[in-house]
Structure 1
């Protein structure tokens, strides 16, 4: 039976993170994940996880100066100190709440120097994460939602993973982002399976619940099941209203 993780960066955002964890448990999710939990006490988050028995699959490094439009630091030339501080912070928080992975956000940049900077920062992150038992994730973002983001395609991500060559560096395979810009999502999932650390989903192109749009998630989830994928799939969609009212798919697609 397919398992699902609630991404609390988009779902139940009106609640504090510990209460959102409880809401996800009540709704029947098998795990949870989040974006930036740092405004919440790690002790309170861990208490909610222990209470519900849910596992936190992952969290993101900080975006940087959001007011100035930053969306990650790891590929920004000259921001290496800040990028590594964000990595250290994310790993420390992940340890406190027993989260499995940290998504290291690249940010808006381009060029060979940005590529080298990203490689160096990812190598640092992987080395720091390995003794902690944590996975480092990287995620291509589609050019429509995040124009100018350094990491844009799965081919680029695969090349970077092969270059860094660390066992705990994996691809965040977001069906929504890949569907927006690359397509052929099921075939890409099959090809990239050895590199994938986590899978997320939302409807294409509106990033709503997975019960409409261009991608047939019944077909896709069945294909992932046939590939042997057993980890929870991350529901990272925008509910456009009350989260509970959008959860009909949770039963039909499970």
Structure 2
């Protein structure tokens, strides 16, 4: 049976962030994820998790200046010291929240001529982060993101992410497979998951093409959920979508999978 985590950065957004935990629990979710926790004291978020019986399943390392358009710094030359500081900050929050996995956003390619140097920086930073996280028994994730949602993002296809994981050989480095991004970039989702299953550390979902609930669009999620069960995937599935209206009104799809 799939385990679904509500993405509190995108769901229940009619409520203040710290009130979304209770809304998620009331809607039947047992886990939550979100982009970043750093605007709130870790103790406050831990309290929200505990009082609602929720597991924190994922959040991202600090991404640089997100408000100014940065989408991660892991592959950005000259930002190595900042990246290492971000790893330490994320570990502190992960320990306080009991979160077992962290996602390091790569960043944007500003000039294609810089791509080889960016790859060197990316691999060095991922190696450092994976080893630091391993000391705390944490998993590091990287995520290929489609070129429509985030133009210029450094990695875009599942094969790219898994090749990097294989090259580094760090046992706690995995790839986040977001079916929304993967469908836009490559499709053939069932075969894609079967090919890379051993290296997948987390799954996310959204309807394609509009990133709404997974009950509308070109992806047959009922088939994919059954396939994940059949293949023995026992991780979380993050619901990283923008509800069409009130979040609770669009959760009919979830009833069949509780």
8 Å Cα contact 1:138-1:170 kept in structure 2? yes
Once residues 16 and 126 of structure 2 are traced to their aligned partners in structure 1, the CA distance between those partners, rounded to angstroms, is: 31
Query: For 2:16 and 2:124, how far apart are their aligned partners in 1?
Result: 35
Alignment of 1:63 with 2:73, yes or no, is no
TM-score, normalising length: structure 1? 0.96
In the alignment, which residue of structure 2 is the partner of 1:19? 19
Q: CA deviation at 1:51?
A: 1.3
What's the offset of the Cα at 1:68?
3.4
Aligned length in residues: 254
Cα distance in structure 2, aligned partners of 1:239 and 1:142: 20
Q: Secondary structure of 1:56's partner?
A: strand
Shift of 1:231: 2.2
Number of the residue aligned with 2:144: 140
Aligned partner of residue 54 in structure 2, secondary structure: coil
Q: Which moved more, 1:141-150 or 1:11-20?
A: 11-20
Give 1:95's aligned residue: 95
Cα drift, residue 192 of structure 1: 0.5
Gaps of 5+ in 2: none
Q: In the TM superposition, what is the alpha-carbon distance from 1:232 to its structure 2 partner?
A: 2.5
Aligned to 2:83: 83
SS at match of 1:57: strand
| In structure 2, C-alpha distance between the alignment counterparts of 1:139 and 1:103, rounded to whole Å | 8
Which aligned runs of 4 or more in structure 1 are off by greater than 6 angstroms?
none
Pick one of 211, 221, 241 that aligns with 1:237. Answer: 241
* 5-14 or 177-186, which deviates more: 5-14
Residues 14-34 of structure 1: CA deviation (Å, up to 9, x unaligned): 334332111111100121111
- Choose from 228, 231, 244 the match for 1:227: 231
Look up the SS of the partner of 1:48 in the other structure: helix
Aligned equivalents of 1:67, 1:243: Cα separation in 2? 25
1:115 matches 2:119: yes
- Inter-partner Cα distance in structure 2 for 1:153 and 1:162: 15
Whether the 8 Å CA contact 2:75–2:122 is kept in 1: the answer is yes
Q: Which residue pairs with 1:169 in the alignment? A: 173
Contact 1:17–1:37, Cα closer than 8 Å, also in 2: no
Q: For 1:79 and 1:131, locate their aligned partners in 2 and report how far apart those are by CA, in whole Å.
A: 23
Structure 1 unaligned regions, length at least 5 = none
Query: How much does 1:230 deviate?
Result: 2.0
- Cα drift, residue 198 of structure 1: 0.4
Q: 2:205 aligns with which of 195, 201, 204?
A: 201
Question: Which piece of structure 1 moves more, 48-57 or 191-200?
Answer: 48-57
